[in-house]
Chain A
């Protein structure tokens, strides 16, 4: 009846996951009860859960990423403490638990923190920057988000029901095959990623189509803000790479469920093929994450330097070069598998070639600052911090692309330090910069600068103190994923790293405090004009938060930095005072399709993991039926009458006029 599921799946004898799971469960229940009792449920359902508004979906993505960042971060803290204490002893985490933690940490941080964070920011901002009213496929967008949330949910269910993979975040066979991992851990891993992978692919298709097909008047490709370009590149990579992941995991699952032999030791299975396939997705994935971050830095550096982006066309070229070349370098993840010298050398050089456009980007940000008038608001601090940190990550990255150096450093703590250097220093700093920068746009008030700056300095310092020692440990021969060790030379560096981790945690606490303080002082921090940073692109041309239709009129773009141009022209023409003529606007209706679909996907995923076949069929049919019902809909749009549009738009127009006339007076 319940497949493999019985009471032994609950780890009653393991206090840590049980307590953690219990606390989370109580917290979720408390929030749910509070929501129901206070009568917020209809509001949440109508305005958020069923919303197909790209801004709302973007915010929910970021919320998901932030919550999962805390989960992945707790895993990181537990790992650092374990390696600090497990010298000539077993530490406090037995191997089967420690191995789950580092596998979950990697999986969560990549798939459920970094991905939703950047996808959330792209969702929130790209349609605004393009001057349009929504993404190309609004309901699909909601489906994509909820499927991602399903994946995150399943990963967390594994904390209390059963176990998570103990194989590392890429689950290499044969270790992840049925013979060596007979438990449900790998199944939790694979099904979570299959379901959230569909969500990511959907989001990718949606954003590619949005950028290619929905741009406002005059917004040709070479007038798009840099963030739109990096979004395009990143989502092209999603569309090209995620199917590889899905196919690879599907093959692994066939091995595990139906006795196939794609990646087994026996019967002609080939583990090297898994390595190739997973990295053929895995390397582009890195650029899927970091390209949007590059876009964010481009926006931030240009805005806070009070200058247009230096070498815009060069940047576009560099972005697209990274997009293409990133598909040709995957083999550098296994130089030590015994491929010949020609293969190794060619892939090594291809990997270095990516450093050229990346280096160009750094120099172009540098020259954007040159001759600028730089305001060091929090987003700018993150950007400068990023530039300094990321260069070191780039240096070590090019170093491990040299095959003979990689023969010594592969899989070492040096490598761990390297990819945290680029992912924290690049993606996470970028995500935080974007969060600080666009928060006023999303919610209509700014974030507290003092807590924001404190968060930056603690995170920045904490990062360096945590990860520089790991570089050194790697140079001392320490490999990754050690649950305990006996080498005395490694110990001091593990202790320094755990201190760094503490500093990093203070940074995270500051970030939370910043949010709390800002929400409390929101009236004082209110952004009335919609343009708190003296911005340059179109998202600042509408109110904060923007009305559901984003723009009352499709903006007319006449060059790069569209909104900056408008402000300059408005000053010159001393503003047109006559009232514009408003029209009715059609917007997509909210739809529960995404949520319902994800609900059934969760049931199906859980049932697949535990081999509860009747429930699999139930979930599958439910999800399919949801789609069918949606496909048969009669009405999918509603009309906002012109008077309503006018009423909403006039308020913002007044605020904005006073701003421009003030600026004009100066």
Chain B
């Protein structure tokens, strides 16, 4: 999950900006740290060779320089930030080979549901994508906020109930990656890690066909069962009954997921904690 080992163009661009920004700043930070240590050491009271200048309390030239150094750095970095924000906007298209794959991600308590509306399939806690194709994500949440993040593919984005966020990514190399939720969402939060299988574009249709044969069907009813609080250890896959399921969730036609079961003694420290263990 190393951020400096990107597996897609978005992550590569993000990490380039990250590394470049660090180096731009190090250019002034390192000399400044050295100066602090050097001045502190040289002007120690016991050093008789250091000249005591109690009246050196103002110098227009020095002031000019000390305001300029950080200002120039910030102007430079500000440019990086401006251009970077526009080029790497999560919703900006990421051209790839072949036709884009639409994926609708829903964060549940505490698992990830990935709906492929065009392929009419859905999976839980495993995201399978073809290498090289543009991946158009639409994201929402069944209950509380979460953040969808695959470190080696780049940019993360929040999922929120009743709202849809957009993110475009691309995975360049076949392999196994990991994704996670990067926003605390309750007791089962640490178990919201998911596998990302990047497979070759030729194998993708096969995978879709196999998955579509699944006995399990994802419809409103089975979705409501799935959104109950709890951790899903297995890697489920479904045939998608209604390709509009995501819209029903995002527009709250399916009401938000329930919280912990309300016990009569709601003040107890454990309410809702059982599922997580």
Contact = CB atoms under 8 A, between A and B. Distances in A.
A341 interface: yes
Nearest to A369: B39
Interface string B68-92: 0111011001101110111111111
B57 A310 contact: yes
Contact of B268 (A183, A359, A362, A387): A183
Given A345-B82, A399-B18, A4 B186 contact: no
B217 interface: no
Given A174-B161, A374-B43, A408 B151 contact: yes
Contacts of B45: 306, 373-375
Nearest to B148: A336
Contact of A407 (B77, B88, B268): B88
A307 B43 CA distance: 12
Contacts of A403: 81, 84-85, 88
Given A307-B57, A344-B85, A363-B66, A477 B190 contact: no
Contact of A404 (B25, B51, B85, B163): B85
B140 to A, nearest CB: 11
A179 B259 contact: yes
Interface in B69-118: 69-71, 73-74, 77-78, 80-82, 84-92
Contact of B190 (A14, A407, A484): A484
B156 A407 contact: yes
Contact size class for B?
35 or more
A402 B77 contact: yes
Given A408-B11, A610-B267, A392 B29 contact: yes
Interface stretch (A90-98, A597-605, A649-657): A90-98
A486 interface: yes
Interface residues of A, number: 106
Nearest to A161: B267
B256 interface: yes
A306 B53 CA distance: 9
Given A163-B269, A265-B252, A412-B182, A362 B32 contact: yes
B132 interface: no
Contacts of A175: 144-145, 184-186
Most buried by A among B86, B184, B269: B269
Nearest to A338: B165
Interface in B236-277: 252, 255-256, 258-260, 262, 265-273, 276-277
B194 interface: no
Contact of A338 (B78, B158, B272): B158
Interface string B47-78: 00011111011110011001101110110011
Interface in A358-379: 358-360, 362-364, 366-376
B188 interface: yes
B35 A366 contact: yes
A263 to B, nearest CB: 11
A489 B81 contact: no
B67 A360 contact: yes
B145 A271 contact: yes
Contacts, number: 331
A90 B188 CA distance: 12
A410 B71 contact: no
Interface stretch (B1-9, B121-129, B200-208, B220-228): B1-9
A477 B1 contact: yes
Nearest to A411: B182
Contact of A411 (B66, B147, B256, B260): B147
A549 interface: no
Interface in A322-377: 334, 336-338, 340-342, 344-345, 348-349, 352-353, 355-356, 358-360, 362-364, 366-376
A278 interface: no
A341 B85 contact: yes
B171 interface: no
B18 A409 contact: yes
B158 A96 contact: no
A522 to B, nearest CB: 26
B21 interface: yes
B190 A405 contact: no
Contact of A336 (B26, B158, B268): B158
B40 A162 contact: no
B58 A311 contact: yes
Contacts of A334: 158
A182 B260 contact: yes
Contact of A9 (B26, B36, B267): B267
A483 B190 contact: yes
B44 interface: yes
Contacts of A167: 184
A312 interface: yes
A305 interface: yes
Interface in B173-227: 178, 180-190, 193
Contact of A374 (B44, B59, B149, B184): B44
Contact of B178 (A99, A384, A394, A487): A487
Contacts of B74: 349, 352-353, 355-356, 398
Given A4-B266, A388-B37, 9 more contacts: A311-B66, A345-B84, A349-B74, A373-B45, A391-B32, A404-B13, A405-B84, A476-B1, A487-B178
Give the 8 A-B CB pairs with smallest separation, nearest first: A477-B1, A371-B53, A359-B70, A477-B151, A96-B273, A363-B66, A345-B85, A407-B155
30 contacts: A6-B267, A9-B267, A96-B273, A99-B186, A163-B269, A174-B144, A174-B145, A306-B45, A307-B53, A308-B54, A308-B57, A310-B57, A312-B58, A336-B158, A338-B158, A338-B165, A349-B81, A349-B82, A360-B67, A362-B32, A363-B62, A364-B66, A366-B36, A368-B57, A370-B43, A373-B45, A402-B77, A409-B3, A477-B178, A480-B184
